[in-house]
Amino acid sequence: MAAIDDLIAQIGDPRLRERLAAEWKAAQASRKFGLVFEDHLPELLPLPKARPRRGDLVCRRLGRLTEVWQVKSVKDGVVTCVKPRDETHPSEPARAAAETVSFAVDEVMVVREFGEPIFPALTPVDVVQNGDPAAPWHVLIEADNYHALQLLGYLYAGKVDCIYIDPPYNTGARDWKYNNDYVDGNDAWRHSKWLSMMQRRLRLAKKLLNPADSVLIVTIDEKEVHRLGLLLEQEFPEARVQMVTSVINHSGVAREKQFYRADEYLFFVFIGEAAVTPTGQDMLNPPEAEEGKKIDLWRRLLRSGTGARRQDSPRLFYPFWIDPVRKRIHSVGDDLPLGANPDSVAPPEPGLVACWPIRSDDSEGRWQISAETARKGLAEGTVKLGAYTATRGRWSISYLRNAEKERIQRGEIEVVGRDDNGALILKQSETVERVKNPVTVWNQRSHNAGAGGSNVLRALLPGRKFPFPKSLYAVEDALRFFVANKPEALIVDFFAGSGTTAHAVMRLNRQDGGRRRAVLVTNNEVAADEAAALAAQGLQPGDEDWEQWGICRYITFPRLKAAITGKTPDGAPVKGDYKFTDAFPMSAGFAANLAYFRLDFLDKDRVTLKRAFREILPLLWLKAGAVGPRPELARGEAEPVVFAPAGSNFVVLLEESRLARLMQALQGRTGLSHVFIVTDADESFKAMAAEVREAAGAANPGLQVVQLYRDYLVNFMINHGGAK
């Protein structure tokens, strides 16, 4: 019972006691534990291209997204609307016969509430091809990430190896929007809005991660670090969450009357068996600090610190017998039962002296390893006699830990001989780099956001500005710890900003010939001051002259294009070199391919799969791994019965009654990874899938047969099934 229950029970007045008990019960029922924040109205999705129809919700293009009307009629370019009933306050009386308002059709924009079904399609915008066309393509999707994540959930549920995100830090400096409104420092709800926004996206992102072995990396600064930490613990209860502090500005960013801020944080959410792969750097000490530094590889065998007393591990209390004349260990004695006096043990030969684990305060201690392991170590030269302290009349014993023995095996430490007593003589290898365990504080000059972020971006896109790109090398380092041994890794960033993550993935691939693939999502927002300037010119979101200045079109795609081709948007070679684990001119570009899509939403009337096949094709290409050029239906070409373009790694059967045609198309085909079959009949799908595997499985190892339902929504489940 809680203290308060005890106190209530002590109240003498029964009426007061009962009333207080009832109040407390009610308070407990309404109280949330863990991270507490206000729920916010679901976010709204603007559909600037959709034509308003009866029943749609609309807002004014230049008004607030949350100020919505419901369309009653559309006639002669005029939309007549009423205020919708406020569903969030069901007790509010319906605004029956509410006053109608009319707008010009171009003045308003359709919006959908998160949770209302919508029909996504990826519209191809552009491509950059500079690598083997048959290789996997990186993908950039211009979209609000909530809907893009829902789509990715269909494409890659459980398949993603690493998600790296750098969300808006909620600094109060109008650096992100909730429901299309910039959130600033005066917004009393800014923390809970941010948490609502993040929670919705993290829940979708979780579905993408491979439950057996994957990692989510989230960067953040001091404004939201604590709330984010709690949110991650709450949303990923089965994962291990660790935070790393990273110095990203060695001079510090000014904080009035406070310490200047030099660092930010990375949360690593380890899913399943995910583990850090050491890469050579400890991340704390710059490599220069290690140069010329002599490190003693031998450790004292006498245990210090916790559990260091004889009684803590009696089996580790035994003597080394030392020949003081020849200065060598003669042999290792047996452990002495607790309570027995070491002075009672006679030497195995006259003239030998005992070296017991005696601590500096003269109390009895214990060794680090058993007598048996010590004997083995003595024979192999990994246990040796240390220094003699004349004042105390005592010898010390040294040994090599397992970590050092492993380094000898890896070739990082060379054995150059044995000394007179048989102990190994060691030398740090000059050719094999030392594998150090990375620690939780990173202090790397290369991670500075200025040099590794803004300067790199400036070289790629001269004259274009983007606030706070991450250091390319900081992202590369963070990813390397998890995908170094996964050359086929799928990496997602759904707050992609200037596209640093894909750039880092391309660098990793170049270093080891990997085929890792980056899928990036970013919206096409313009900065707050730019939005005001564009609106003053009479422009509105959705206008080409507005959209061209958005992040995705103006920064992300051009940046990645410049990185891949080695040319700036003006066609000039990119100036400068990459200076990191490797050094080469940025103008060399990368052998990589990138497909750029915009997430659009299909008209409600065209949502059967067959009718929207042209629009769905990019989704099928992505689901099949985005390998090789993306096949398209030629203009004017009708939807086929079987879609099996030459060279593609997937085939689609659109008419289930024509299985024979599919089997014909599969004959002699190799390099297939997916066969899609459109059918609503689950049983006949199973039979067809078995037949397909039987016929084509041997020539196409790992072939997946996937069912597609005729109903578009059943397949894509987008914006369907709750907004929370």
| Side-chain half-sphere exposure of 478, counting CA atoms within 13 A | 34
**R_g of the chain computed on alpha carbons:** 33
**Which listed range, 392-400, 506-514, 516-524, 680-688, lies at the site for ligand SAM (CB under 6 A)?**
516-524
**Which listed range, 12-20, 248-256, 519-527, 693-701, lies at the site for ligand SAM (CB under 6 A)?**
519-527
Maximum Cα interatomic distance, the chain, rounded to a whole number of Å: 116
Residue 374 contacts residue 367 (beta carbons within 8 Å): yes
Among 58, 79, 121, 166, binds ligand SAM (CB under 6 A): 166
The full DSSP string for 1-23 is --HHHHHHHT-S-HHHHHHHHHH
Q: Give, in degrees to the nearest 5, the angle at Cα 680 between 674 and 683.
A: 80
Under the binding rule (CB under 6 A), the answer on residue 525 touching ligand SAM is yes
One character per residue 167-196, x = contact with ligand SAM (rule: CB under 6 A): -x-------x--------------------
**Which listed range, 408-416, 497-505, 667-675, 716-724, lies at the site for ligand SAM (CB under 6 A)?**
497-505
In whole angstroms, what is the distance from residue 7 CA to residue 25 CA?
Answer: 14
Of 11 and 225, the one with the shorter C-beta distance to ligand SAM is 225
Of 24 and 580, the one with the shorter C-beta distance to ligand SAM is 580
| Side-chain half-sphere exposure of 132, counting CA atoms within 13 A | 7
Footprint of ligand SAM on residues 573-632 (CB under 6 A)?
none
The tokens 């040099």 sit on which residue?
Answer: 451
Under the binding rule (CB under 6 A), the answer on residue 540 touching ligand SAM is no
Under the binding rule (CB under 6 A), the answer on residue 719 touching ligand SAM is no
Q: How far is the CB of 673 from ligand SAM (least distance, A)?
A: 29
One character per residue 131-160, x = contact with ligand SAM (rule: CB under 6 A): -------------xx---------------
Q: How far is the CB of 217 from ligand SAM (least distance, A)?
A: 11
Footprint of ligand SAM on residues 684-713 (CB under 6 A)?
none
| Side-chain half-sphere exposure of 480, counting CA atoms within 13 A | 21
Under the binding rule (CB under 6 A), the answer on residue 558 touching ligand SAM is no
Among 131, 333, 469, 558, binds ligand SAM (CB under 6 A): 469
Under the binding rule (CB under 6 A), the answer on residue 495 touching ligand SAM is yes
Among 500, 540, 568, 649, binds ligand SAM (CB under 6 A): 500
Of 168 and 319, the one with the shorter C-beta distance to ligand SAM is 168
In whole angstroms, what is the distance from residue 333 CA to residue 315 CA?
Answer: 12
Alpha helices per DSSP H over 383-450: 402-410
Under the binding rule (CB under 6 A), the answer on residue 523 touching ligand SAM is yes
By CB under 6 A, how many residues form the interface with ligand SAM? 17
Q: How far is the CB of 555 from ligand SAM (least distance, A)?
A: 8
Of 249 and 370, the one with the shorter C-beta distance to ligand SAM is 249
- Cα torsion at 686, 687, 690, 696 (round to 10°)? -110
In whole angstroms, what is the distance from residue 649 CA to residue 654 CA?
Answer: 17
**Which listed range, 26-34, 275-283, 382-390, 468-476, lies at the site for ligand SAM (CB under 6 A)?**
468-476
**Which listed range, 68-76, 364-372, 496-504, 646-654, lies at the site for ligand SAM (CB under 6 A)?**
496-504
Q: How far is the CB of 691 from ligand SAM (least distance, A)?
A: 42
Of 442 and 495, the one with the shorter C-beta distance to ligand SAM is 495
Of 148 and 622, the one with the shorter C-beta distance to ligand SAM is 148
Under the binding rule (CB under 6 A), the answer on residue 498 touching ligand SAM is yes
Strand order in the sheet with 213-220: 120-129, 593-601, 138-142, 517-522, 490-493, 162-165, 213-220, 263-272, 240-247, 441-442
In whole angstroms, what is the distance from residue 659 CA to residue 642 CA?
Answer: 9
Residue 497 contacts residue 466 (beta carbons within 8 Å): yes
Of 141 and 378, the one with the shorter C-beta distance to ligand SAM is 141
Q: Give, for 677, the enclosing helix (H) or strand (E).
A: strand 674-678
Of 413 and 475, the one with the shorter C-beta distance to ligand SAM is 475
Q: How far is the CB of 119 from ligand SAM (least distance, A)?
A: 19
Q: How far is the CB of 143 from ligand SAM (least distance, A)?
A: 7
3-state secondary structure of 25: helix
Of 144 and 335, the one with the shorter C-beta distance to ligand SAM is 144
In whole angstroms, what is the distance from residue 599 CA to residue 718 CA?
Answer: 12
Residue 120 contacts residue 130 (beta carbons within 8 Å): no
**Closest residue to ligand SAM in the complex (CB):** 497
3-state secondary structure of 128: strand
Under the binding rule (CB under 6 A), the answer on residue 470 touching ligand SAM is yes
Single-letter amino acid code for the residue at 598: R
Residue 425 contacts residue 418 (beta carbons within 8 Å): yes
Under the binding rule (CB under 6 A), the answer on residue 443 touching ligand SAM is no
In whole angstroms, what is the distance from residue 547 CA to residue 541 CA?
Answer: 7
Residue 365 contacts residue 309 (beta carbons within 8 Å): yes
* HEC profile of 170-220: CCCEEEEEECCEEEECCCCCHHHHHHHHHHHHHHHHHHHECCCEEEEEEEE
Q: Where on the chain is the footprint of ligand SAM (CB under 6 A)? A: 144-145, 166, 168, 176, 468-470, 495, 497-498, 500, 521-523, 525, 551
